[in-house]
Copies of this chain bind each other. A is one copy, B any other.
Amino acid sequence: MQQKLYYGAAWYPELWGEAERQQDLQLMQETGINLVRMGEFIWSLLEPEEDSIDVRPFAEHIRQLHAHGIDTVMCTPTATPPIWLTHGHPERLFVRADGAVMSHGSRQHVCTNNPYFRQRAALITEELARVLGQLPGLVAWQLDNELKAHVAECMCGSCRSLWQEWLEHRYGSILELNAAWGTGVWSHTYQRFDQVPQPVATPFLHNSSLVTQYRLFQMEKVADFAGEQAAIIRRYSAAPITHNSNVPFHLDNEQLFATLDFASFDTYASQANRHAYLLNCDLWRGFKPRRDFWLMETGPAYAASLTSYGEPHPDGYLTAEAVAAYALGAGAFCYWLWRQQRTGSEQTHSSIISAWGQPALGYDNVRAASAARLRIEPHMLNTRPLKAEVAIAYSDRAKAFLATEPHRQLNYRSLLGDFYRRILDQGVHRDLLPEGGDLRGYKLLFTPFVHYLSPEYMQKALAFAEAGGIWIVGPLSGGRTAEHTLHTDAALGELERFAGVNTTFVYPMEGTGSIGEAFGCSAPLSLWSAVFEPLPGGASVIGVIKEGRTPGLAYLTEQPYGQGAIVMLGSLPSGGEGDKQLSALIEHYAARAGVTLRSDVTPGTILCPRRGASGDLWTLVNMDGLGGSVTLPRSGQDVLTGAAVPADPLSIGAYEYRLIAL
């Protein structure tokens, strides 16, 4: 368990002179910064000529930071290899699906599967770990930087060979691959593994299995790279290792963090998109359940580059963000960046100190958030976020399936975000749970947008229901096999039997005028939908289609299962009425499941329940700047002021936060 809440910033001492560095150390102390992350882009500095490595300047930086009471996250610099690694070697560069070979000049332009890159990455990381690994103040490592943020799947020659090997390992024989992928459909049938292409340009669409497997292959390989790098560090350093990830990146985060020690992420959501900010807090907590997650990068005021920018945060929002993150389980809240870039392509990005050494826009907000951090720190250190009773499945594999099969531009991130927001706005405490997460202890489980339900997941979810949980499956869940093909026994495979339904049809509902009625509310139905008939003696119909192409059939059913139940949600109610119906659904099943970790908190304000040795602590934070309220279940005490708080509705001001011991 950490002994403090970290409040950090990204620092680039290599880009400035000694005078600025000393000014930075001084100002950081004044600002309350107690953690610095550095080093993610220093490879050419450390190894200006091939084989001539000197990492000692960073030992000195770490020592100086430590002398100022500031701990360090040290990064490996592999996102930006030096020019000598790629100049004259196009075969080491990343190749896009359109065939374009990337140039030196940005970041991630190299293929992380290139053997020579791997060899050089191992050397530089080993040297960093060897020299810095034991230094006082070095409290964590970050591998690389935002892996697969700018690039998706690589189509280079190294990847082609690895892909064909990977397939051979996965399928054993080409006959097996042909059968699994159904390559007979368009005469794609392969004779040998060395013929299987990467999903590059072709007149129409590639086979779904090929495209999805290529995504999974690439995600596995980049996780392997991280694992390899972590193993090197561990030989020299006990400091825990993480990576600054993010939902839109082309990663399987579960696989990635399996080989790392704790989770961290970057987010630059604007205030208008604050549910995405909270989704991140609820998500990254779940990848390493026994460790705090860190928010490794967020802007003091706004994100920007030469070609884009986000809207600056309203005054006061930053403190709300910081308190929310800490209360939801963050061990660190870190800014990108401390001192504005003078050059490059992100000069316009918001920073704490400007390129000319003055407080930048938001500096006062950074100070205020720092003060808030100090006020809440003892209470946060004494408590831990309560495990939620409601879990929502998160799956990067599902994201990959949906990327292959987007229907009309469906996007996993926004679908899941919208779904999440409804649960958030209901005041229900929730965990986003990776596919491999432990379902035990939850009462209510949502599994939306997961085209492929693995046998492991099915077994776990069934056991969860058996033990009394309510499992709500769908929309868009269960209709695909591991190979991204259709089931041939039933539309949703064996799930139907457990759910007590027969899926009559699966079809696109948009434009058909379909209306679904459930919980006394009628709403238009949307998305590709599965519509059901109960099996004899099977499920009860909860939501029925009133108008459209399949009137009378069900889109929402409930089947008792063991002590619990399986609820099938075959379609997505949409529009304002759809919101109401989904709220009623959440309300209904939260009540049925006996969910107690919830409140009547108004949307725009959040409740973060925590528990410590001395009881429960409710952190309330207003995020929308409009203020809100919540009814306290019993009287408590405001731990920041010491004042008693009665068991009444409690008002929260704009961007205000309250810590109430109950």
Contact = CB atoms under 8 A, between A and B. Distances in A.
Given A343-B486, A361-B507, 9 more contacts: A80-B187, A82-B189, A100-B201, A183-B343, A206-B345, A207-B345, A208-B347, A306-B407, A312-B549
A41 to B, nearest CB: 5
A475 B106 CA distance: 29
A44 interface: yes
A83 B178 CA distance: 12
Contact of A312 (B96, B108, B407, B507): B507
A401 B69 CA distance: 42
Chain A's interface: helix, strand, loop or mixed, by majority?
A: loop
Contacts of A102: 201-203
Interface in A139-191: 150-151, 181-191
A203 B507 contact: no
Interface of A: 12, 14-15, 41-45, 48-49, 77, 80-84, 87, 94, 96, 98-109, 150-151, 181-191, 195, 197-210, 301-302, 304-309, 311-312, 314-315, 340-348, 350, 354-358, 360-361, 404-408, 483, 485-491, 504-508, 510-512, 528, 549-550
Contacts of A43: 187
B188 A44 contact: yes
A290 B101 CA distance: 51
Given A98-B100, A204-B106, A343 B309 contact: no
A306 B406 contact: yes
A206 B105 contact: yes
Contact of A345 (B208, B340, B549): B208
A186 B344 contact: yes
Nearest to A80: B187
A188 B85 CA distance: 11
B203 A108 contact: yes
A350 B507 contact: yes
A549 B355 contact: no
Given A14-B184, A208-B306, A355-B486, A311 B345 contact: no
> Which among A185, A360, A505 has the greatest number of chain B C-beta atoms within 10 A?
A185
A182 B507 contact: no
B314 A549 contact: yes
11 contacts: A15-B182, A82-B187, A83-B190, A205-B306, A302-B508, A311-B508, A342-B488, A347-B485, A348-B405, A348-B407, A361-B507
A406 B486 CA distance: 42
A312 B106 contact: no
Given A204-B345, A486-B355, A197 B104 contact: yes
A307 B204 CA distance: 10
Contacts of A311: 508, 510-512
Given A109-B202, A343-B207, A185 B312 contact: no
A549 B343 contact: no
Contact of A105 (B80, B202, B358, B491): B202
Contacts of A406: 306-307
A12 B187 CA distance: 12
A191 B43 CA distance: 13
Contacts of A199: 105
Contact of A186 (B48, B80, B355): B80
Contacts of A99: 100
Contact of A195 (B81, B87, B191, B361): B87
Contact of A187 (B44, B205, B507): B44
A195 B83 contact: yes
A56 B124 CA distance: 62
Contacts of A12: 184-185
A407 B184 CA distance: 43
A106 B302 contact: no
A549 B315 contact: yes
A239 B313 CA distance: 62
B15 A184 contact: yes
A357 B488 CA distance: 7
Contacts of A345: 185, 204-208
A45 B206 contact: no
Contacts of A182: 15, 341-344
A204 B309 contact: no
A185 B87 CA distance: 19
Contact of A150 (B197, B203, B342): B203
B356 A490 contact: yes
A324 to B, nearest CB: 21
Contacts of A355: 486-488
B82 A207 contact: no
Nearest to A512: B312
Contacts of A488: 342, 355-357
A167 B77 CA distance: 28
A76 to B, nearest CB: 12
A508 to B, nearest CB: 5
A311 to B, nearest CB: 4
Contacts of A151: 203
A446 B636 CA distance: 63
Contacts of A191: 48-49, 83-84
A491 B305 contact: no
Contacts of A342: 182, 485-486, 488
A215 to B, nearest CB: 13
A305 B508 CA distance: 11
A153 B438 CA distance: 55
Nearest to A505: B361
A87 B195 CA distance: 7
A101 to B, nearest CB: 8
